[in-house]
Chains A and B, each alone.
Chain A
Amino acid sequence: MKEKNRNSLLEAIKKLPIYEAPSHLWNSILKRMNIGDLPQYKAPDDLWANIERQIQQANVKPAHAYWAIAASFLILFSLGFLMPGEENETRDNVIITLEKELKGAPVLSPAIRSTYETQFVALEKELANCLMGLGQDEIRTIRPKLAEYYGLASRQDELLNDLKPNAKNQQWQQTLILVEHKRNKVLYEIFGSVCPQHLQPQKPNEKR
């Protein structure tokens, strides 16, 4: 009798429900582990919103947008917020926004779009390979750069939001150019430290 009762308890226990861990928990764990010292950190959603806003404002040229997105993947991968293979939906959204906002521009020709997408796929794969090989030390090395990048991106955002572009306002324009230049420089340094040459963006002083 005792054995029978014991078995029925075990049977009921075996069928107890399993609860699904909330998806945000992993991000919270990573934040606690790694990025407590990243003051300029923004949540991934904000980051994407920021990039899309910049594209919408047409202040980011396609090539810049491309590297900004790539940098975002790098950041998201390196901090563990995004795993290689999970980025497709987000990437598609960004490409759609890019197309919408730059309607009529040469970048939208089917051939260029195709190249763009191919580049993205290739970049993602290679970035994934690079980042999978990154150790804690390398991530620690690029972390201050990421903070700087975020700081400059925020500053650029402030400038764009606080004051509308005005040809007469030279100081505003100069500041914006300076911030953008610095930001691109930092971006280059981040990529330069983790990516092979062919994956790196043009050096700021060499561009166009």
Chain B
Amino acid sequence: MSNVVKKVSPSYQMNPVEEAILEGCLQGNRMSQKKLYDRYKDAMYTLCYRITNDFEMAQDAMQEGFVGVFRGLEKFQRKSSLGAWIKTIIVRAAYKKIKQNNRFFESLDQVADELILDWGEYMTPDYLEKAIQGLPDGYRTVFVLIEIEGYSHKEVAKMMTISEGTSKSQLFHAKKNLKKQLRAWGIER
């Protein structure tokens, strides 16, 4: 007799509001589509902008991403929140944009993924935002996804079809660059 227990991914319990919006969207209800868009638009637009570092490209990514969301909703398997699923599609659309613009990841040797950033007391979100915007595309994308959006290296690697080692090295160099920039502004000690 086999004692093997199959692991089944539990279905994500969606809240009733999200459930109703999803159902409406699946039936092609325009009101529900608008509600879904309104619920996530600002967060997704911000994410697109942080990845592309360009408002026009962010808008293009939003268009392509949300068209993909509405066309692909039937494939949503409820293994995560609807927001998390949408975010993955939007991230891919934004990443595709920077790739289309021939802005590739640098090939880097694998390095340690930890770098301590010693923030000075005058550090503000504005400085951080400016410093993030100054990062090269590959560094910035990985920094945004891991440090701001909370993805793991494994998830980032899968989304961007890069190795985990590349993701780690990109993060390392992102932090190193940030440190350099912040030091130049007299913020990082």
Contacts and interface: CB of A to CB of B under 8 A. Distances in A.
Q: Do these two chains interact?
A: yes
Contacts of B70: 29, 33
Q: How many interface residues does chain A have, given as a range?
A: 20 to 34
Contacts of A121: none
Interface of A: 1-2, 5, 8-9, 12-13, 15-22, 25-26, 28-29, 32-33, 77-80, 83-84, 131-132, 134-137, 139
Nearest to A23: B41
Given A13-B147, A16-B129, A33-B71, A21 B44 contact: yes
Interface in B102-150: 116-119, 123-126, 128-129, 147-148
Contact of B66 (A5, A9, A17, A29): A29
Contacts of B86: none
Contacts, number: 91
Main secondary structure of the interface of A (DSSP, over half): helix
A18 B119 contact: no
Interface stretch (B11-19, B26-34, B77-85, B159-167): B26-34
Given A13-B147, A16-B129, A19-B45, A32 B119 contact: no
B181 to A, nearest CB: 14
Nearest to A7: B119
10 contacts: A1-B116, A5-B117, A9-B147, A12-B128, A17-B125, A18-B43, A18-B46, A25-B41, A28-B63, A132-B29
A78 to B, nearest CB: 7
Nearest to B69: A29
